[in-house]
Every structure is written in C-alpha cells, then in structure tokens.
Amino acid sequence: MSTDDDKKTQTELARYDAIQASDSTNIETALGNLQKKGLEKSKRRSQAQHEALIRNLLTEARRALAGEGDYHADDLLLALHWLIKRDSSLPEVLNPDYDDLENQAKSRFHSHDRIRSRGGSPPSAEKELETLTKISKQLGYLNSIVDTSRYAPVRFAPIDEPGARTTVEEPTPVGRLRIAKDSAVDLEDRVVEIPHQSCDHIGAIALPRRGKDSTLVSLGKNLQSEHGYSYISIMDDGRMETPMIGIPNDEKVIQDNLERMGQGPDAMPADVFVPSMGEVPDLLPSNFELFTIGIDTLTPHLILRLAGVTKSDETVEARIKKALDETLVNSGSVSELVSRLQVYAREMEATIEWTEIEEKRAGESATTTYTAHYQMDAESALEKAAQRVAQLAAEGLITSPSAATNIDMNEIIADQDRAAVLCCNFLGSGLEPLKYVIMDLWLRLIYKARDENPRLPRVCIEIRELKNIAPSKMADVRYKSDIKTLRQTIFFLTTQGGSRRILLLGSTQKWNDVYKPVRSNIAIKFLLQLGEDEIDTLDKTHHFSWEQQRQLSEFDIGWGMIISEGKPDYPVELRGAPCGLGLGDRHWRDRYGVAWGARVREHDTDSWRGDEDLEWWVNVVDCRVHDFDTDGTPEIGQWFLLPEDLEDVDVSIGDGAPVPGRFMETPADERREWVDAALEERREHEIPNDLLLQPSGHQNKQRSVSLSVDDVESNIGDIAEDYNVPEPLHSWLEAKDQKREKLLEALEVLTEHDDLTTISDVADHLSYSGSTLRNYWSADDGLGECWSKKGKRYIPTPIGKQAASLDWDDIEDELEKL
C-alpha cells in the first residue's frame, strides 16, 4: 500500500526525468556490453601483472648473479622459466622459421626446459638468464635490457575545431612518462595529454641550463607542425638563440634524447625579422628579412602604447584618430602625422554636431541638427606620442604606408607553415630601449590581427626568460617605462589572449620573479630541476609530497614534472628541441654556415685546411677563388669550400651539359650552381630555409637622421661627371689605388690585343694571377661591362672603349686631392 510520501517521491522523479541518465540500448545489450568490457579490462590487468612480474624477476635475477640481490638466483630463474613457458606466443617464437631469435637461443631454451622438467638446474645460470631475457624481449615483456622501465607518451591533445584541427592521426610525443618496471598499469591509462583546446598558457621553470628553453621550443614546434598554430618567437636574452630554430639541433646530448624518442634533428621553416635600424650586419642569411612598420597598421591605442601611455580617455584617442585619418587621406607621410599630433596636442575648442529625429504627429517626423562647443585642454600624451613616432621614424622603424619593407602581421600569421622570429639584437648601443617598444608593438599587432580576423591560424608566442619583460619588481629594472608598458601587454595577453586563440609559451628560472598577475594566468607548468627556494614557492600552491619535492630537486637535465588541470605527472623525460638552440661557445653565424654545408673557420686553432698541398679555396658567398699564397687563408667566420668538396659533384651548368674539367676552368658566372650542389651534398640534415649569406641592404639605406651627403662621395660624383666616366665604372673611383691599377691594366690588355679567346689568354699579359682577374670579372666591379665576345674573340664594348680613352692620370690626381 503506497503512502502519500511514496506518491510525492514518484511525482518529483517524474518532474526531473528529463535530466536523468538513460540507456541508449535495451537492458540485455547494456548488461552484455558492461560484462564484455569488464572481462576485457580484467584480462588486460592480468596480462599487465604477468608482464610486470617477469620484468621484476629478470631485474632481480640480474642483481642476484651480480651478488647484489636478496634472493637466490636459481629460484628466480626457475620461476622465470615456468612463467615464460605459460605464454601462448612462445611456440611461435621458438619455431625454426621465426627469424628474430637466433637458433642457438631456441635450442638452449629447449635444453634448459628438459633439465627443469626433471627438477634440475641448467649448468650455467648466466646463460639461462641470457636466454630467458632474449625470449622475453621477443615476447614483448621488455623493450630494453638496460632500462626495463616502460614509457607512456606525453603529447598535446588532438583538437578538431572549425579552422583549427590537429593534422596527424596520432600526435608526436613531446616527452615520455616513465613507469616502474613492476607496475601493472596499462600504458593507455597513463598517456599524458596536454590540453590546449582553449589555448591555456604554458610556463617552463627550471634552474639555469636544465632544459627549460629546449622544452619550450619543442612544445612550440609541435604545436606549429601538427596542431595548426603559427609559431612566433618574440624574445631571447640577446645571444641570438631564437634564430637558431632555423637549423637542426647540433648538440650531441639532445640528439641522443631525440633518438630515444624515436625522432631526430629537424629545423623549423623560419623567417627572422630584423628591425631596419641600428647596426645591422652587411651580410645576413637569406631567411633574415629587414622590416619596418607602416603608419597605416597603427591605431590610436598602439600609438599611445608606443609613447608608453597605458591610461588615457576617449578624447585623447579621438584626437590621435583624427590626426591619423587625415594623414592617411593626404600624404601618408610620417612627418605629416607627427605635425598633426603636435597640433592636436595643444589646447583647442572642439565642435560637435548631431542630428535627432523628432516626431511631430502620427506618421510625420522632422530632423533637427544641434551643435555644441567645448574646450579641450592641452594633452601631454599626444606630445609624447608625436615625439616617439618621430624618433622611431628617424631611426627607420616607422614609415609611410608605401614602404616596401613594411610588415603585414596578418600575412605573417597566415603563413602558418613558417615560424616567425623577431630579432632585435642588432639595434646597437643607445637603441636598446627600443627593443621593448618593438616587442610590445609586435604583441599588440598579433592580438589585433587575431581579434579582427579569427579565420587566421591560432598563434603560439614563445618568450624566453619571461621575467625580463614581465618582472615582479621594477626597482632594479632598466628602461622602466618601456618595460612597464610591455609588462602590461603580457598581462593583457594572458587574460585575453586565450579567447583570441593566442597561446603563450614562457620560461623563467624563478616563478616569483614573474609579475604575479601574469603567472597567475599560466595554468600549465613544466617543472624541471628546481632549487629549494623555488620548490618552497611552488609548494604553497601545489602542495607537493615529500617524494615530489625530492624528485624536483634531483631531476637530471631534460627530466621534469608536468602540472596540468591540477594533476602532476612525473617523472617525465621531455623531448629536446629538434631545432637549434643557443650555444655559448659558438658564434651563431658559424653554426648557420656548418648547417648549410659550408666549411667555417670558427677560431684560430681550427684544423680546417685538410690537405696541406691545396692551392686554393672558394668563398661560398660570391664563388670567388682565392689562392692560398696570394690571398691568404679564410678569415675567422668565413664560409668556404675546398677543391675536394667540389669533386664528383653531380651538377650540370649552362646548356645542361656535365661540368667539364676543374672548377677553376668554369666561367665565374656559372660557378654558383656547382657551389650550391657541393653545399647540399655536405649537409647532414635537410634544411627548409635558404641560409646562404647575402647583403642585408641596410648599409645602402639613407636614414632620415642623416640627410647630408658625405663630402667625399659628393666630390667623387663630381669627378665622374667632369671626366665623363661611364656609370658602371663609378665604383673604380671609390676603389683602393692598387685595385684600380689592376682593373686599368686588364682594360689596357684588352684594347691592345685582338686575339684573346679565354680568360687565361688575358691573364698571360697581366702582372697578377688569373684567379684575381676572374674575381674582378665576376664581381660588381664593372670590368665585365668593358668587353664582350664576338665569335671566339673578346672585343671591347662601347663602355670599354670610352673607359680606355679617358685621361686616368688626371683622374688619379683629382682623387689624390680628396
């Protein structure tokens, strides 16, 4: 008999029935599926326990034979023998047709089995252990004899979102979680997946040189290559570390680590962006690109950030917007923008007009325009903005919208296959504070691009030594105003970046050194070896056990703990960076050259020459041939090749015919293909970037801070005009006297002889070597403009005839006066 309370309970259950759990199948099928899963799980657990027992017995037997164990060796071997014999796959492994186990081990096991079946012990315990170990390895009980631990993969979780999805079926591990040899846990149950669905930020924390930056780059490379992220590296400590991602890793210890992971060195396709200002070298690798920032990419907010203004009202931004809009409509020049900012910084009267619709009666309305005037005070923020924009324009960073070197952050992010590295290491003395301004501008442009165009790829931003640009204390910081502005941007990205699918990768030595609002928003942590103080700091939030604290203080290089979603996983061997990292003992450009296949003299004692009988070497950059006797040895840092590197290179030039004879006999303008082929054959790994050194072009740039033309250059131009020197030969006037004499000597020989058919013929009449002549001919010295071939003979061109007719003695006198 049901009571009122029973009826009330039934009524309540019916009311909430929609949110209760339900079966998708009938009861019989549901019970059957549950029973099947239970049996499979029980079977896997039993097999895992069996395998763990065998691994443990093998280890104990090895220790017992070495006199270190707690058990008798024969007892352990007896148990091992009968456990292995129970394996259903053993007959297959012992089959004569099974090739992965040598026949001697098979016959020895059969012999041991007969002895054990009679209650005896094989004569050699060492041989029995060796046999049982080999069979255990074939049965899959262990992978390594030295390390019997098992490892579960550590990888990023796959994502499948509109416009953002993992591109591989199973992501490549970025580490491996070590599982004790006697653990019966299923590897599938211990797989560590790092969540990034919502772009949770990641921090790597460790003592110096324990692998945190290597871990950071490894994670970023995986996100870029397999999960659809654009990889942008913003900050290193000035040692040219971040551009090294463009070459394969060349450190032996990391190469060994990669081999343990079943991987190898692998360079990232990367472009290195260098601000077109400061002390940019004359030669840079071809994947380096000078950049400027057009004013059309700026916003009022960005202009204020450039000026270090972090707080402003809408009237200030309105003034800047008006100045910017008017400039872009008119000339688009930076000078106009600066002038307008200065004008709008003054005290002025503002007029506002607005229109309202007023209803007169039903169905009828009228519009009325109103006007209001108010006084706007002078605004120092605009004056600061004008000064900073003028300064950056003078240094060459801020330009008009039409400048060919302007970057487009949308394009950089859209080119997801290539990483982007911001390199501010060539700014030189006096411009270091601008490094932080440029980084801040890049971060703001990245956010702006992702905010305005969510169809762009996700972005992971790598920042090494996060404490340098987001410090917790400003007391000891140089350039406080610039770094404070940048720190605010980092904080903004850690709070708002995830919603724009921007993931921050940051490293630091001490967690407390990072600005607290920033570190509070970094959810995932990779903890490598830490000092006691740092362990105590992190223990306040993560409450480590004694064992966890011990391991954190004793981790080997490259090992650590991952804290994700509140759960620690350890010990984890983290994958080292497949691409290059910073090395304190080697120059970055030397490593680029070696990776590209060139020989490089890295120091005075470098044994670089090879055969002492070699007579010449080749400059990789311009393919010039240099005699050891006359030109000397390659300079320190020079990229070069020796004759032995050019032999037997499979290359065709010119009309496609095989290269005949020696490299010295090849026309200078056709050597490039041969040199490139030799470089490619010498490379140890594939390189997805063009690393060949080329002129940066910065030395030819005329900056607005130096508008006057050098007097010497002006006078040389006057001499060229006065004596009617052909334009291709103007460089002769700027050359050293000795070089100019050699060029004129070659010109004289050419005009006096009409039977010259080869360069060697010309060189026979000269006072210097044929290799020097070839260099002059192949370089941009204008000599090649002075002759051409008619049939087989060399004849003077009109430029050559004009040059030969000039009074070079008088020209020399004029040059001496300069």
Residues 178, 571 contacting (CB under 8 angstroms) = yes
**pLDDT tops 80 at residue 661:** no
| Phi–psi pair at 364, nearest 5 degrees | -130, 145
Residues 245, 582 contacting (CB under 8 angstroms) = no
Banded pLDDT at 354 (limits 50, 70, 90) = low
Question: Cα dist. 558→155, 681, 728 in Å?
Answer: 16, 33, 58
| Phi–psi pair at 600, nearest 5 degrees | -140, 130
Whole-angstrom distance, CA of residue 514 vs CA of residue 522: 11
Whole-angstrom distance, CA of residue 618 vs CA of residue 624: 6
Over residues 406-423, mean pLDDT: 95
Model pLDDT, residue 55: 83
Instruction: Render pLDDT for 200-236 as a digit per residue (tens, 0 to 9).
Output: 999 999 998 898 999 999 999 999 999 999 999 998 7
Instruction: Render pLDDT for 622-648 as a digit per residue (tens, 0 to 9).
Output: 998 888 888 888 889 999 999 888 877
Whole-angstrom distance, CA of residue 784 vs CA of residue 798: 12
Between 313 and 90, the higher pLDDT residue:
90
**pLDDT tops 70 at residue 652:** no
- The position carrying tokens 């002492």 is 612
Model pLDDT, residue 7: 62
Average pLDDT, the chain: 84
Residue 359 has a CB neighbour count (10 Å cut-off) of: 9
Over residues 334-349, mean pLDDT: 77
Banded pLDDT at 376 (limits 50, 70, 90) = very low
Structure-token pair, residue 779: 């370089």
Structure-token pair, residue 332: 């688009």
**pLDDT tops 90 at residue 439:** yes
> What pairing do the DSSP bridges indicate for beta strands 616-619 and 639-641?
antiparallel
Banded pLDDT at 812 (limits 50, 70, 90) = confident
Over residues 278-302, mean pLDDT: 90
**pLDDT tops 90 at residue 712:** no
Over residues 245-255, mean pLDDT: 93
Q: Among positive and negative, which fits the CA dihedral 574, 577, 578, 584? A: negative
Model pLDDT, residue 195: 95
**pLDDT tops 90 at residue 184:** no
Over residues 274-298, mean pLDDT: 91
Model pLDDT, residue 631: 84
Banded pLDDT at 650 (limits 50, 70, 90) = low
Structure-token pair, residue 696: 């940066």
Amino acid in position 812:
E
Phi-psi region of 90 (alpha: psi -120 to 50; beta: other; left: phi over 0): alpha
Over residues 518-535, mean pLDDT: 93
Question: What percent of the chain shows pLDDT beyond 90?
Answer: 36
Over residues 1-29, mean pLDDT: 69
Structure-token pair, residue 798: 């009109």
Residues 491, 466 contacting (CB under 8 angstroms) = no
Model pLDDT, residue 383: 83
Model pLDDT, residue 471: 93
Model pLDDT, residue 373: 46
Over residues 419-447, mean pLDDT: 90
Amino acid in position 231:
Y
Instruction: Render pLDDT for 98-148 as a digit per residue (tens, 0 to 9).
Output: 888 888 888 888 888 888 888 888 888 888 888 888 888 888 887 777 777
Alpha carbons within 13 A on the beta-carbon side of 569: 25
Structure-token pair, residue 790: 């008619």
**Which pTM does this prediction carry?**
0.75
Residues 641, 678 contacting (CB under 8 angstroms) = yes
Over residues 665-676, mean pLDDT: 82
> How many degrees, rounded to 5, is the angle at CA 45 between CA 39 and CA 51?
135
**pLDDT tops 60 at residue 700:** no
Model pLDDT, residue 374: 45
Whole-angstrom distance, CA of residue 8 vs CA of residue 5: 5
Highest mean pLDDT among 57-66, 159-168, 429-438, 524-533: 524-533
- DSSP letter string, 584-622: TTS-HHHHHHHHHT-EE--STT-----STT--EEEETTT
Between 574 and 755, the higher pLDDT residue:
574
Model pLDDT, residue 263: 93
- The position carrying tokens 């703001």 is 444
Whole-angstrom distance, CA of residue 109 vs CA of residue 479: 74
Residues 439, 234 contacting (CB under 8 angstroms) = yes
All domains of the chain, ordered by start, with CATH?
35-138 (no CATH), 293-360+372-404 (no CATH), 598-682 (no CATH), 711-816 (1.10.10)
Task: Give the relative orientation of helices 770-778 and 737-752 as an angle to the nearest 10 degrees.
Answer: 100
Contacts of residue 310, defined as CB under 8 A and 6 or more positions apart, other chains included, come to: 304, 484, 485, 488
Banded pLDDT at 709 (limits 50, 70, 90) = very low
